[in-house]
Amino acid sequence: MSFLELDGLVKAYGALTVVKGVDLAVDRGTLVCLLGPSGCGKTTTLRLIAGFANASGGEVRVGGEVVSSASRNVPPEDRNMSMIFQSYALWPHMTVFQNVAYGLKLRRLPATEIKERVGRILESTHLGPLAGRYPSELSGGQQQRVSLARALVVEPQILLLDEPLSNLDANLREEMRFEIRRLHDQFRYTTVYVTHDQSEAMTTADLIVVMNAGRIEQCGTPEDIYERPETEFVARFIGGTNILKGRSDGSDTVVCADGVVLRCGSGRVSPGGETAVSIRHHDIRIGTTPPAGDGSNQASGVVERQIYLGSHRDYLVKLSGGERVRAVAPVNVAIPVGQQVWLHFPPEHCRALTH
Amino acid sequence: MTDAVLMPERVRRIDVSVPVFVLLALGLGVLVILPLFWLVWYSVHEDAGGFTLGNFVQLVTDDTMLRAYGIAIAMAAGVGVLSCLLATPLAWLVARTDLPGRRAIRALVTASFVTPPFLGAIAWELLAAPNSGIINVLYRTLFGLPRSDSLFNIYTFPGLVFVIGCFTYPFVFTLVANAFDRVPGDLEDASAILGGRAATTLWRVTLPLVLPSMLAGTLIAVLQALTMFGSPAILALPAGFHVITTKIWSLFQFPPQLGLAAAAAMPLLVITVLLLRGQKAILGRRGYTVLGGKSGAPRIVALGAWRWPAFAFALFVLCLTVIFPYLALLKTALVPNAGDALTPSTITLSHFHFVLFDFSATRLALYNTFVLGFLSATTVAVVAMIVAYIATRKLVRGAGILGMLATAPVAIPGIVLGVGLFLSYANPTFQLYGTIWILLIAFVTIELPAGYQQISSAFHGVHPELEEASRILGASRLKTLWLITSPMLRTSVVAAWCFVFVGTIRELSATILLTTANTKLVSVIIYDLNESGDMGAICVLGLILLVVSFLVVFAVNRMPVLGGGGSVSTTRG
Ligand SMILES: Nc1ncnc2c1ncn2[C@@H]1O[C@H](COP(=O)(O)OP(=O)(O)O)[C@@H](O)[C@H]1O
Ligand SMILES: [Mg+2]
C-alpha cells in the first residue's frame, strides 16, 4: 500500500468538472511531479490533497486513512502536510525567523527547541544571516527559500509544492530546481510537486504524472515519459515531437496517408485502426540522397525553412503528402531552402501510439 | 531525520461560519429593510390604517412641498456648479503646477472634510449675518455706514448655496486632484510633440482625462447638498424658505404628519439611487483610466508670472472655507458676547466653563456623542470585518448577499433613514425611541457602507494563500484570522474605525428626528443653541468636535505602517 493514494478523485465547480477521476499512488519518500498544461487541474488536485477544497467524489488516503471524500474532509490544519505556494505566501508582518518558527509554535514546542530547529533549517537553506529580515527585504530567490524552510521545518508527512519556481527569473529557476532536489534527497519527504514546465519536472521528479484536461495521461519515471510516451499528448507535451498518422495492418508497420511506411520499434498499434507514430526531431536523419534500404521508414520532401542555431540546424520539411516535419541536424548538414531532401526515420526511434 | 512533530490532538471544532452567516444576514436585513418597509407602508396608509395614495397626491399638489423640492434641487445644482468651479482649478494648481505651498494647501483642503457642514453654516452666520456678521460690521465701520446697510446677507438662497459649496467642494477636489496625479506625463508629452502649446494640451488632453472624476465628484457634492439638513435648517429657515429636508423635519413637528413625511422622503431616495448609479457609471467606464503603469511622473507646469495670482486664488478659497470660519468660531468662543471685539481685556473662558462644567445638557450631550461615536465605530468595524471576511473568502454559499446588504444603506440619505427608523422603532413594541440605541442603529446603518468598503478592500489585498499557508501549518481558521489576517488588516480597520467615529459625531440629518431630551447629542445641542442664539457655547462645542476629529484623523495618518517595514504587497502571482 502506498503512503498517499488518490482514488477516483473528482472535483466539480457547478457544472464544470475540473478533476475527472484521478488515481495515483505515491510511495513514502518519493517526489512526484504533476505535470500538465495550464488549466488542466493540477492546482485543484493539489488543493484537494491539502484539504483546501472539498472533493466531489473519490477519496484521498494518507497511510490508509481517508482524509478527503465527498462526505468527509479533514481540515488542512489536521493533515500534517506542508505546502509551498506560487506566491510564497510569506507573512509580511513577521521576520524570516518568525515565519519559519510559526508552525513549530503551533505545535507548542519549547522555545529552545524551536530556536534550534529553525536555526538548523535556516542553515540548510543558506538563510542563516537573514533570520531577522522581513520578507519585503528579501530577493525573490531568498523568499522562495524561506517558504521552503517554513514548510520543511515542521517535518511534514507530505510536502506539496504549487509551481514554486514560476515567479523566479530563468537563472534562479534552474538553480532552485537542483536546490529542491537536494533538499528532497536530504529530508526525503513524500512530495507532490506541481509544474507546467517539463524540464523542471525532469530534473526534480522521481515520478512524473502527466495530466491533461482533468485526467492522468501517463505516469512514470522521467525516462519512461520521454522515451516511451503512451499517448500523442504526452509525446507532444514532453520534449516535442513529430506525429505522423496512418493505419496499421496489425504488425509493427504503419502505413501513412501518402504512402510512407513506418516500421515502429516500440509502442502499440491498434490493429486495423488509426495509429499515430511519434518521432522526435533529433531522431530524424536528413539527407539529399535517398537512404539505402527497402524504402520503408523514409520520405521525401522539400525544405521549407532552415534555421542556424549554432549547435545545430533546425529544418522544417514539407513532405510530398503535405505534412510538415521538423528535423534537427548537425550544423555541417547545410541544405538550402527549396531543395528536395530525403528523410530517414530509424525504426528504433519510431513509437506507435494508439491515441 | 528526526521524528515528525505531530500536531497536538485537538477537540473537533464545529463550523460556526453558517450560523454566523445566517445571523448576520438576518441582522443586516432587518437593519436595511425594516426602515424602508415602514417608510413605504406609512406612505400608502392613512393614520387609521386603510390604504391610500393621498400622501402622494398631496406631495405633488401641495405647493409648499413642490417648492421645497424645487428649491432643494436648485440649491443642489448650484452647489454642484460652485464646487466644481472652486475645486477644479485648485486641484490642477496643487497637482500639476509649481504653486507655492501646494502641499500644505492640499492638506488644508482635505482637512476641511472634517468640518461638520452645520458648523460651517454657523461660522458663516457669525461672519455674514446681515446685522451682527463680522464682515458686515467691519464694512459698516470702515465706511461709516448706518446699521441697515450690509455687504453680504447669508440668510438668502445664494448665501445658502455658497455656504454648502464651501464644505462640499473637497469631494470634487479630492477626486479631481487624484485624477490629475494619475494623468501620465507621456500623454501630455505626446500632445506637446505634436505641436500642442501648454494651454492647448491642458484643454484638449488633460482636462478630458479628468472630466469623469470631475463629474463624479460633482454628483457627490450635489447629493450631499440635496440630503443635507443642518446648513439649510440654520440658514434657510431664518430666510423664510424650506428645502426638502427641512420640510420633512417640519412634518414631524406638531401635529405630526408621518404619512406625508414618508411619502416626501421617497423621491429623495429615488434621486439618491439615480445619482449614485450615475456616479458609478461615470467612474466605472474604464476607457479613460490611465493606470497603465510606467508612464512617467506627471509633468509640473511652471506658472511663471502667474504664480502669485494663483497663490492668491488658493488662499482666497482657503480663507472662505477654512481660515475665516475657524477664526470666527475661535473668536466667538473667547469673547463674552458674539458681537464683542476680541481684545486682551474682553478675552474670557466663560463659555468653556459654561459648556464643560455649568450646563448639564452640554455635558450629557458630549458624553452621549462620544459614547455613541465609540459604540458605532466599534460595531461597524466588527460587523464590517466579519462580513468582509465571509464575503471575500466566500465561506458560505450566498456570501455575496452580505456584502450587498452592508453596502445598500449608502443609497439611503440620513434624513430618509431617520424617518424610516422613527416609523420602525418609535412604536410601543420596541420602545427604542428616546434611547441612545435607536441612534446607534441609525449611525451603524449610515456608516456601515463606508466602513465595509474600506475593510473589504483591505481583505482583498490579503492574498488567500497567506491564510492557507497558516492553515496547512496547523492553525485553525479562527487562529489564522487572529495571527495572520488581523495583524495585516490592523491599519485599515483602525482607519475605518476612526472615520466612522468622525462621521458619527457630526451626524445631524438622521439624529434630528431620532433624538429626545435625554439623548441629545452635540450636533443637536448646537442646532438648538443656534435657535436660542447662544453663539459662544456653540462655538466651544464646535471647536471641541473639530479638535477631537482632527486628533483622530491625525492619529490615523500617523499610525505606523504594519510592524517593522513589512508590507502587504509581498503577495504576488
Ligand atoms: N474556484 C473555482 N471555481 C471555478 N472554477 C475553477 C476554480 N478553481 C479552478 N477552476 C477551474 O478549474 C480548471 C483547473 O484549474 P487549476 O487546477 O488551477 O489548473 P492548473 O493549476 O493546472 O493550471 C480551470 O479551468 C479553472 O478555471
Ligand atoms: Mg495552477
Per-residue DSSP letters for A199-264?
A: HHHHHH-SEEEEEETTEEEEEE-HHHHHHS--SHHHHHHTT--EEEEEEE-SSSEEEETTS-EEE-
Q: Do B565 and A134 touch (CB under 8 A)?
A: yes
* Residues B328 and B360 grouped into a single domain: no
**Residue of A9, A34, A44 with the most ligand 1 atoms within 8 Å of its CB, for mutation:** A44
pLDDT value at B241 more than 70:
yes
Q: Is residue B402 situated within a structural domain? A: yes
Q: CB of B153 within 8 A of CB of B235? A: no
Strands A207-212 and A215-220 turn out to be antiparallel
* Residues B95 and B126 grouped into a single domain: yes
pLDDT value at B566 more than 50:
no
Three-state DSSP at B68 gives helix
Read off the pLDDT band of A262 (50, 70, 90).
confident
Read off the pLDDT band of B296 (50, 70, 90).
low
Task: Report, as an integer, the average pLDDT of A140-145.
Answer: 89
Q: How many CB atoms lie within 10 A of CB A165?
A: 26
Q: Which three cell numbers stand for residue A139?
A: 530577493
Q: Is residue B554 situated within a structural domain? A: yes
pLDDT value at B294 more than 90:
no
Residue of the CA atom closest to atom 2 of ligand 1: A13
pLDDT value at A138 more than 50:
yes
pLDDT value at B285 more than 80:
no
Q: Which three cell numbers stand for residue B140?
A: 459698516
Q: CB of B530 within 8 A of CB of B234? A: yes
HSE-up of residue A152 (Cα within 13 Å, Cβ side): 26
Residue of the CA atom closest to atom 26 of ligand 1: A39
Out of A235-244, A278-287, A312-321, B293-302, least confident range: B293-302
Residue of the CA atom closest to atom 12 of ligand 1: A18
Taking every pair of C-alpha atoms in chain A, what is the biggest distance, in angstroms? 77
What residues make up the domain containing B200?
62-285+305-340
Alpha-carbon span B413 to B223, nearest angstrom: 9
pLDDT value at B2 more than 50:
no
pLDDT value at B568 more than 50:
no
Q: CB of B512 within 8 A of CB of B524? A: yes
Alpha-carbon span B310 to B98, nearest angstrom: 10
pLDDT of residue B19: 86
Say which of A81, A89, A93 has its CB closest to residue B487.
A93
Three-state DSSP at A279 gives strand
Read off the pLDDT band of B158 (50, 70, 90).
very high
* Residues B321 and B360 grouped into a single domain: no
Question: Which residue in the block uniquely carries the three cell numbers 530509424?
Answer: A346
Strands A57-62 and A4-13 turn out to be antiparallel
B395 near A CB under 8 A: no
pLDDT of residue A95: 93
Q: Which residues pair with A313 in a beta bridge?
A: A308, A329
The per-residue pLDDT for range A163-197, each reduced to its tens digit, is 988 888 888 888 888 888 888 998 899 999 999 99
Q: Which three cell numbers stand for residue A22?
A: 484521478
Q: Which atom of ligand 1 is nearest to the CA of A37?
A: 22
HSE-up of residue B332 (Cα within 13 Å, Cβ side): 29
Task: Report, as an integer, the average pLDDT of A226-247.
Answer: 88
* Residues B255 and B386 grouped into a single domain: no
Q: Do A89 and B472 touch (CB under 8 A)?
A: no
Q: Which three cell numbers stand for residue B529?
A: 443653541
Alpha-carbon span A352 to A346, nearest angstrom: 13
Alpha-carbon span B324 to B332, nearest angstrom: 12
Q: Structurally, how many domains does chain B consist of?
A: 2
Residues from chain A contacting residue B13 (CB–CB below 8 Å): 75
* DSSP single-letter state for residue A130: G
Closest to A82 in 3D by CA, of A167, A219, A184, A186: A184
- Where residue A80 falls (left for φ over 0; alpha for ψ -120 to 50; beta otherwise) is left
pLDDT value at B376 more than 50:
yes
Strands A274-279 and A266-267 turn out to be unpaired
* Residues B474 and B527 grouped into a single domain: yes
Residues from chain B contacting residue A155 (CB–CB below 8 Å): 1-5
pLDDT of residue A295: 77
pLDDT value at B4 more than 70:
no
* Residues B363 and B257 grouped into a single domain: no
For residue A25, what is the enclosing H or E element? strand A16-26
Question: Which residue in the block uniquely carries the three cell numbers 458560505?
Answer: B396
pLDDT of residue B5: 53
Classify the C-alpha dihedral B332-B230-B509-B111 as positive or negative.
negative
Q: Is residue B178 situated within a structural domain? A: yes
Q: Do B564 and A166 touch (CB under 8 A)?
A: no
pLDDT of residue A222: 93
pLDDT value at A292 more than 90:
no
Q: CB of A221 within 8 A of CB of A344? A: no
Cα A252 to its chain centre, rounded Å, is 30
pLDDT of residue B572: 28
Q: What average pLDDT is seen over chain A? A: 89
Residues from chain B contacting residue A106 (CB–CB below 8 Å): 7, 473-475, 479
pLDDT value at A241 more than 50:
yes
Please provide residue A223's backbone torsions phi and psi, each rounded to the nearest 5 degrees. -65, -45
More confident residue, B251 or B202: B251
pLDDT of residue B564: 32
Burial class (CB in 10 A: 0-12, 13-18, 19+), B153: middle
Q: Is residue B51 situated within a structural domain? A: no
HSE-up of residue A247 (Cα within 13 Å, Cβ side): 6
CA distances (Å), origin A22, targets A42, A275, B224: 11, 26, 59
Task: Report, as an integer, the average pLDDT of B27-49.
Answer: 88
Q: Do B1 and A155 touch (CB under 8 A)?
A: yes
pLDDT value at B570 more than 70:
no
Strands A158-162 and A190-195 turn out to be parallel
Q: Which residue of B has its CA nearest to A109?
A: B5
Read off the pLDDT band of B295 (50, 70, 90).
very low
Assign residue B468 the CATH number of its domain: 1.10.3720.10
Question: Which residue in the block uniquely carries the three cell numbers 506542508?
Answer: A82
Which residues have a Cβ under 8 Å from the Cβ of A277 and sit 6 or more positions away? Answer: A243, A244, A245, A246, A254, A256, A262, A264, A267, A350, A351, A352, A353
Q: What average pLDDT is seen over chain B? A: 85
Range 9-48 of B in CB contact (< 8 A) with A: 10, 13
CA distance to partner chain A, nearest, from residue B480 (Å) = 10
pLDDT value at B82 more than 90:
yes
Q: Which three cell numbers stand for residue B352?
A: 468653556
Q: CB of B243 within 8 A of CB of B225? A: no
Q: Which three cell numbers stand for residue B568?
A: 502587504
pLDDT of residue A37: 93
pLDDT value at B237 more than 80:
yes
Alpha-carbon span A166 to A174, nearest angstrom: 11
Q: Is residue B115 situated within a structural domain? A: yes
Three-state DSSP at A353 gives strand
Question: Which residue in the block uniquely carries the three cell numbers 511534514?
Answer: A156
pLDDT of residue B569: 30
Residue of the CA atom closest to atom 3 of ligand 1: A13
Residues from chain B contacting residue A94 (CB–CB below 8 Å): 563, 566
Alpha-carbon span B516 to B528, nearest angstrom: 12
Q: Which atom of ligand 1 is nearest to the CA of A47?
A: 17
Residue of the CA atom closest to atom 1 of ligand 1: A13
Q: Is residue B293 situated within a structural domain? A: no
pLDDT over 90 percentage in chain B: 38
- Listed by start position, the domains of chain A span 4-227, 242-353
Fold of the domain spanning A242-353: OB fold (Dihydrolipoamide Acetyltransferase, E2P) (2.40.50)
Burial class (CB in 10 A: 0-12, 13-18, 19+), B257: middle
* Residues B331 and B444 grouped into a single domain: no
pLDDT value at B288 more than 90:
no
- Point out the ligand nearest to the CA of residue A41: 1
Q: How many CB atoms lie within 10 A of CB B102?
A: 20
Residues flanking ligand 1, CB < 6 Å: A 13, 16, 18, 36, 38-44
Distance from residue A39's CA to the centre of ligand 1 (Å) = 6
Q: CB of B176 within 8 A of CB of B183? A: no
Residues from chain B contacting residue A76 (CB–CB below 8 Å): 468, 471-472
pLDDT of residue B446: 92
Alpha-carbon span B324 to B318, nearest angstrom: 8
Alpha-carbon span B60 to B41, nearest angstrom: 18
Burial class (CB in 10 A: 0-12, 13-18, 19+), B144: exposed
Q: Is residue B119 situated within a structural domain? A: yes
Task: Report, as an integer, the average pLDDT of B278-289.
Answer: 65
More confident residue, B10 or B479: B479
The per-residue pLDDT for range A35-75, each reduced to its tens digit, is 999 999 999 999 999 999 999 999 999 999 999 998 888 99
Task: Report, as an integer, the average pLDDT of B355-379.
Answer: 91
pLDDT value at B191 more than 70:
no
Read off the pLDDT band of B560 (50, 70, 90).
low
- For the entire predicted model, the pTM comes to 0.79
Which residues have a Cβ under 8 Å from the Cβ of A12 and sit 6 or more positions away? Answer: A18, A56
Out of B113-127, B162-176, B340-354, B442-456, least confident range: B340-354
Q: CB of A321 within 8 A of CB of A301? A: no
pLDDT value at B1 more than 60:
no
Alpha-carbon span B325 to B123, nearest angstrom: 5
Closest to A84 in 3D by CA, of B472, B176, B75: B472
pLDDT of residue B6: 55
* Residues B246 and B383 grouped into a single domain: no
Alpha-carbon span B436 to B514, nearest angstrom: 9
* Residues B325 and B399 grouped into a single domain: no
* DSSP single-letter state for residue A128: G
Q: Is residue B44 situated within a structural domain? A: no
pLDDT of residue B315: 94
Closest to B106 in 3D by CA, of B165, B162, B185, B170: B170
Three-state DSSP at A290 gives coil
Strands A340-344 and A285-287 turn out to be antiparallel
Out of A135-144, A168-177, B241-250, B458-467, least confident range: A168-177
Q: Is the peptide bond before B255 cis (omega within 30 degrees of 0)?
A: yes
Task: Report, as an integer, the average pLDDT of A316-320.
Answer: 90
Report ipTM for this prediction: 0.84
pLDDT of residue B187: 65
Task: Report, as an integer, the average pLDDT of B230-256.
Answer: 91
Q: CB of B299 within 8 A of CB of B96? A: yes
Read off the pLDDT band of B298 (50, 70, 90).
low
pLDDT of residue A206: 93
Alpha-carbon span A234 to B462, nearest angstrom: 38
CA distance to partner chain A, nearest, from residue B284 (Å) = 29
Task: Report, as an integer, the average pLDDT of A265-286.
Answer: 84
Residues with CB under 5 A from ligand 2 (ion): A 43
Read off the pLDDT band of B79 (50, 70, 90).
very high
Fold of the domain spanning A4-227: Rossmann fold (3.40.50)
Counting other chains too, the contacts that A63-68 makes at CB distance below 8 Å and 24 or more residues apart are A63/A3, A63/A157, A64/A1, A68/A9
Say which of A77, A107, A136 has its CB closest to residue B471.
A77
Which residues have a Cβ under 8 Å from the Cβ of B489 and sit 6 or more positions away? Answer: B385, B455, B458, B459, B462
The per-residue pLDDT for range B86-104, each reduced to its tens digit, is 999 999 999 888 899 988 9
